[in-house]
Amino acid sequence: MRKEVGEKGWNDLKTNDSWATFKILSEFVMGFERMSRIGPCVSIFGSARLKPDNEYYQLATEIAGKIVENGYGVITGGGPGVMEAGNKGAHLAGGTSVGLNIALPFEQHDNPYIDSDKSLDFDYFFARKVMFVKYSQGFVVMPGGFGTLDELFEAITLIQTNKIAKFPIILVGTQFWSGLLAWINSTLDHQFHTVSPGDIDLLHVVDTSDEAVDIINEFYAKYSLSPNF
């Protein structure tokens, strides 16, 4: 049975909520101050559960290295799996390697390939996601689970609603993403008309590291921008 909360209990809850705003504010201030100094970066997302012998872990490492070679840094969620692969590729290529870590009861722990001065710790997912969007010049999305899909659809929503400027969103792995894209096309677009016909064009599907980096470079060449903007 649900325990009743008295007037004093509700007042305590409201007081705790009020104090929490200071913790939230501190995460934004920390993030803005430290991320504003890193330069242009591309975020790499994907499953925390993929091991180094997995083909997508290896592909994420390769993509990150080529991103660095083209003048960008790499941002990941700072944990294991694809996140580790992204930081590893950036680190081995001698580039900027950023980790936005989140406190979780399982899976998450810092990987060893993050630059020592570019490892940030967050308690709040929403504060962390703001940093991904605000300081990334592109998203590379590897196979992943609910967290990866959350980050992907948040970016699509913000671009679709003109809350942020358009940037390239690259899905890596035709076999992994084809089912989701087919459902968006057939169900959301053609059957129920709950998305605009052009919304799916925000997404690029690739299978190689060269294809991923080419999309990023072509996007910024089109707008006469470069990694030094």
Residues comprising the chain, all counted: 229
Q: What angle do CA 80, 37, 133 make, to 5 degrees?
A: 55
User: In the prediction, which pLDDT does 185 show?
Assistant: 94
The residues spanned by each domain of the chain are 7-222
Q: What angle do CA 118, 89, 45 make, to 5 degrees?
A: 70
Q: Are 218 and 139 in contact (CB under 8 A)?
A: no
Q: What angle do CA 81, 91, 206 make, to 5 degrees?
A: 55
- Ramachandran region of residue 224, left (φ > 0), alpha (ψ -120 to 50) or beta? left
Q: What angle do CA 38, 45, 204 make, to 5 degrees?
A: 100
- Ramachandran region of residue 86, left (φ > 0), alpha (ψ -120 to 50) or beta? alpha
Please identify, in words, the CATH class of the domain defined by 7-222.
alpha beta
With tokens 């049975």, the residue in question is 1
Tens of each residue's pLDDT in the chain, 229 residues:
445 555 555 566 556 888 889 999 999 999 999 999 999 999 999 999 999 999 999 999 999 999 999 999 999 999 999 999 999 999 999 999 999 999 877 655 789 999 999 999 999 999 999 999 999 999 999 999 999 999 999 999 999 999 999 999 999 999 999 999 999 999 999 999 999 888 899 999 999 999 999 999 999 998 766 664 4
3-state helix, strand, coil in the chain (%, to 5): 50, 15, 35
d(CA 149, CA 118): 25
- Tell whether the torsion through CA atoms of 208, 196, 149 and 39 is positive or negative: positive
φ, ψ at 188 (rounded to 5°): -70, -40
- Give the global pTM: 0.91
Burial of 101 (0-12, 13-18, 19+ CB in 10 A): buried
Report in angstroms the alpha-carbon separations of 27 from 14, 110, 124, 228: 21, 18, 8, 27
Q: What angle do CA 183, 131, 90 make, to 5 degrees?
A: 85
136's tokens: 């990334």
Q: Are 90 and 68 in contact (CB under 8 A)?
A: yes
